[in-house]
């Protein structure tokens, strides 16, 4: 499985997210048709800085569309490899 995170941020276009989701869904259908159901397929999850309802399509103060995000982007600290 090829795992992807689609980043949602305030004011982004909902079509930018749904278009990517549709493209991966179509790609998975082609993979299954060509290689069978056990072939590696795309898996994705939407992520944002905070979990909850993220305002999309319009500025947040206009009370436009909301996209529900269930996973939070974590801040990772790059750790250098240990010297041997």
Among 41, 21, 22, smallest CA distance to 31 is for 41
Among 54, 50, 44, smallest CA distance to 74 is for 50
Count of structural domains, the chain: 1
Residue 50 lies in a domain: yes
Element containing residue 69 per DSSP (H, E): strand 66-69
Q: 75 near 50, Cβ under 8 Å?
A: no
Whole-prediction pTM: 0.67
Looking up tokens 């790609």 gives 27
Residue 28 lies in a domain: yes
Residue 83 lies in a domain: no
Which residue range forms the structural domain that includes residue 41? 2-72
- Kindly report, residue by residue over 25-81, the tens digit of the pLDDT: 999 999 999 999 999 999 988 888 888 888 877 665 666 677 777 777 764 344 445
Residue 82 lies in a domain: no
């Amino acid at each position: 499985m090829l795992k992807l995170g689609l980043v949602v941020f305030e004011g982004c276009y909902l079509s930018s997210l749904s278009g990517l989701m549709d493209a991966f869904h179509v790609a998975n259908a082609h993979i299954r048709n060509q290689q069978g159901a056990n072939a590696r397929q795309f898996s994705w999850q939407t992520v944002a800085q905070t979990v909850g309802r993220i305002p999309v399509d319009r500025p947040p103060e206009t009370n436009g569309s909301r996209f529900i995000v269930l996973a939070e982007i974590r801040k990772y600290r790059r750790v250098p490899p240990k010297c041997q």
